[in-house]
A = this chain, B = another copy of it.
Amino acid sequence: METINAVAALAALAQENRLEIFRLLVQAGPEGMAAGQVAEQLGLAPNTLTFHFDRLRFAGLVTVRRDGRSMIYAARFSAMNELVAFLTENCCQGAPEQCAPAAVCKPKGVAHEAVSRARRR
């Protein structure tokens, strides 16, 4: 992961509403959630939610697909793991044995997800 991408991801998460949105999606798992469900759970206006979803999407943190009238958003776990790996890269110059980058959340079926899927609509 490049610094610029990490900054984008961190900036996307550095906002109370977006962080809660993302955590909700992380908890929802690879299936994702409809925008309306998220709006209901967090009490956000639909246009505000769209704004935040866009941020998360451009940062590569979520994907979207349409299901009837609803848009289903899902966390992109590979991006989250890459971000964590980037933060801890070469930690302590690798000196202490306990210090090693590691993926923290790998739900089945998304571990090797293609990056090109990140920004699709």
Contacts and interface: CB of A to CB of B under 8 A. Distances in A.
Interface of A: 3-4, 6-7, 10-11, 13-16, 19-20, 22-23, 26-30, 77, 80, 84, 86-93, 95-96, 98-102, 104-108, 111
B3 A7 contact: no
Contact of A107 (B3, B13, B98): B98
8 contacts: A13-B87, A26-B90, A27-B89, A29-B96, A84-B84, A96-B106, A99-B105, A99-B106
A90 B75 CA distance: 13
A104 B88 contact: yes
Contact of A3 (B19, B27, B90): B19
